[in-house]
Amino acid sequence: MPFVATRKQTVAGILLAIVATLVWSGNFIVARAVKNDIPPVTLAFFRWLTASAIMLPFAVKHLLKEWPIIKTHWLLLFFAALTGVCLFNTFVYMAGHYSTAINLALVGTTSSPVISIVLAYFFLKEKLNLLKIIGLLICITGIALLVSKGNLSNLWHLQFSKGDVWVLLGAFSFAIYNIITRKKPVALSNIAYLCVIFCTGTLLLLPAYWWEQSVTAPVHWNTQNLLMIFYLGAGASVFSFLCWNAAIHKLGAGRTALFGNLIPIFSTIEAALLLNEQILPYHFISFVVIIGGLLIANLKTKQPAAKENQQ
């Protein structure tokens, strides 16, 4: 049966998704701040190691109680860890070393929602109605305005690089994670689910981390770098994933994925406040367009809703 959210679920899901993207947006600020100090796999590994260490004490009771469910659904959990933890952010961190900011933002923020909605349509039978399509196209237009600095003709001059390929792989990985999360067993609590995929994802990153350590210069750890790792582990991992997963269950994978378009908006504001970057008029125009697209995509026609409620 197609996923249907009540009005209360929709409002709660929207708020949760916005909070998650707000905290996640800081991920890109941190990545830029430490890209010359911490290699990409090392950054991802310590991020998830920190997140696992934070989650484990709170999750032990749930893990023991829900162990039979975890064993039964180990394959789903493995692929959730592989796509949402091991691959997604690692690919993004790798992309930052090769791609320009405009290409990174364009490919990363527009491709993942499209992939998520298409996958949700085919694998989860989520409805792809006209309003959702229109809202998605408006969101993409807003992102295009943002990354082209208010002049869409600039998009014709984009040159795709290795970084674009990495971030596209990351977007595809996160889209798959969204679909897998919708398949999470109801009896498996969010805290147990996240703890398992965080720990599993960290273990999956371990071989790549060891390899990277053998081919890169040693990391010179300092207070700033350690604080950055803690932010990624506690905020952008534990807190944001809890919010995001809850939003997926309230809104559905496709609708929740649309809110990923808010990340570059929040990142722009944070860059202005924390990095003293200038905010220009096209930033505000893009913000209005993207918010408009999100609102339209989350509207529902009354007739289909009435039919579904009668089932």
Predicted confidence (pLDDT) per residue in 213-272, tens digit:
999 988 888 998 999 999 999 999 889 888 888 888 888 877 787 787 788 778 778 777
Q: 177 or 111: whose pLDDT is higher?
A: 177
Give residue 283's identity as a one-letter amino acid code. H
* Phi-psi category of residue 150: left, alpha or beta, with phi > 0 → left and psi -120 to 50 → alpha: left
Place of tokens 């992102």: 143
Q: Give me the mean pLDDT over the 136-146 stretch.
A: 79
State the pTM of this model.
0.76
Phi (first) and psi of residue 42, to 5 degrees: -60, -40
* Phi-psi category of residue 279: left, alpha or beta, with phi > 0 → left and psi -120 to 50 → alpha: beta
Whether the per-residue pLDDT at 302 is higher than 70: the answer is no
Residues 6+ apart with CB under 8 A from 214: none
pLDDT confidence tier of residue 37, bands split at 50, 70 and 90: confident
Q: Kindly give the residue spans of alpha helices, DSSP state H, lying in the chain.
A: 7-34, 40-65, 67-72, 74-80, 88-95, 101-123, 130-147, 162-182, 190-215, 223-230, 240-251, 253-258, 263-275, 281-297, 302-309
Question: Whose CA is closest to 90, among 33, 27, 175, 36?
Answer: 27
Can you tell me whether residue 300 is helix, strand or coil?
A: coil
d(CA 148, CA 304): 38
pLDDT in the model for residue 63: 96
pLDDT in the model for residue 205: 97
pLDDT in the model for residue 306: 40
Q: Give me the mean pLDDT over the 152-174 stretch.
A: 74
